[in-house]
Amino acid sequence: MAEQNQTQNYPDDEIDLRAIFADLWQGKWLIIALTVICAVAGIVYAKSQPDIYIAQATLAPKDGSGAKTGGGLQGLASLAGVNLGGEGSNQSVIAQEILRSRAFLSDFIERHNYAPQLTAVKRWNAATGELEYDPERYNPETTQWQGAEPSSWNLVNRTRSLMGIGANKNTGMVSISFQHQSPKFAQEIVQNLVQDINEHMRRLDVQEAENSIRYLENKIQETSIAGMQQVFFQLIESETRKVMLAHSSPEYVFKTIDPAVVPEVPSQPKRRLIAMVATMTGGLLGILIVLLRSFFFAPKLKE
């Protein structure tokens, strides 16, 4: 009996499968219509999206850019309350965190006056190579905002969303990227980020070294022990060397291996992918509607 029941189920399954294909065939025009509509909508949406260009620079960290000191002198400096840096300090990691910090980015945007390019751009004119701004937000001729100026908080968040900072754990190389409607602006902002972080880190180290020199000079005046004075003079020499080396190279923390160039091909949007996804979505939606209509309404039609 069990074998007979099993053999009786096969015709039913075959009939159901044929019924499904029959329903799909009857609803083919609905499936085709939804596929075409979604495909056209996807193409229109993809073409309406502005081109986004990404500029990227590859950098090599220059850790320990300050003057190196020997182990004995480093120990004496610690006893004297002076930090000479050395192998223990990872300038690259610190510089990357500073690049992401709100204080650095806020000062960076204000110093270069990047607020209009970050928040008021409508599109980039490839023919003229110029940015076109939203007239309801910003007037480039008068450099006046039509409404409230964007806050520093919003500008920093906007910059962070467009900026990318990554480090290769195997090679130690650091990449800095930025995406924008204008390929020229994307390249410009990456170049300025690299230059400004190098200058910022150099300024911090020079200030720290100069403070250490003033501290050591005061210590020399306070002590009459010749041996300690000799140690302080050696520390002053080391800090002076650090200041000289800091001013000797413009690439203080990061050395540019592959500079940012003006990208010629946009990275976004993926128009073909958008059109393909929209087309497939329309086809699947049409099939689902046909099957649901057949499942819920077919019995009523048979009655």
CA distance 217 to 219: 5
Identify the H or E element spanning 174: strand 174-180
Amino acid identity, residue 166?
G
Asked if residues 60 and 172 have their Cβ atoms less than 8 Å apart, the reply is yes
Taking each helix axis from N to C end, the angle separating 226-246 and 71-80, rounded to the nearest 10 degrees, works out to 110
CA distance 163 to 289: 43
Among 270, 271, 54, 49, residue whose Cα is nearest residue 162: 54
- Residue 233 vs residue 204, higher pLDDT: 204
What confidence score (pLDDT) does residue 64 get? 52
Domains in the chain, ordered, with CATH? 53-70+81-197+251-258 (3.30.1890)
83-92, pLDDT tens digit by residue? 555 443 488 8
Q: How confident is the model at residue 271 (pLDDT cuts 50, 70, 90)?
A: confident
pLDDT digits (tens, 9 = 90+) for 160-175: 999 999 988 888 899 9
Q: Is the pTM of this model over 0.75?
A: no
- The proportion of the chain whose per-residue pLDDT surpasses 90, expressed as a percent, equals 37
Which residue, among 16, 13, 27, has the nearest Cα to 292 in the 3D structure?
Answer: 27
Could you tell me the CA-to-CA distances from 275 to 34, 73, 126, 279, 287 in Å, in that order?
Answer: 14, 66, 24, 6, 19
Query: Is a pLDDT exceeding 50 seen at residue 303?
Result: no
- Quote the pLDDT of residue 82: 52
Tokens of 72: 């004995």
Average pLDDT over residues 90-108: 92
Q: Answer with the residue of higher pLDDT: 15 or 231.
A: 231
Packing angle of the helix pair 226-246, 183-222 (nearest 10 deg) = 170
Alpha helices in 27-170 (DSSP H): 28-48, 71-80, 91-100, 102-112, 115-119, 152-162
Using the structure block, give the residue that is written with the tokens 């409607």.
Answer: 181
Name, of 16-30, 60-74, 129-143, 150-164, the range with top average pLDDT.
150-164
What does the pLDDT average to over 124-144?
89
Q: Which amino acid is at 172?
A: G
- Indicate if the pLDDT at residue 66 is higher than 70: no
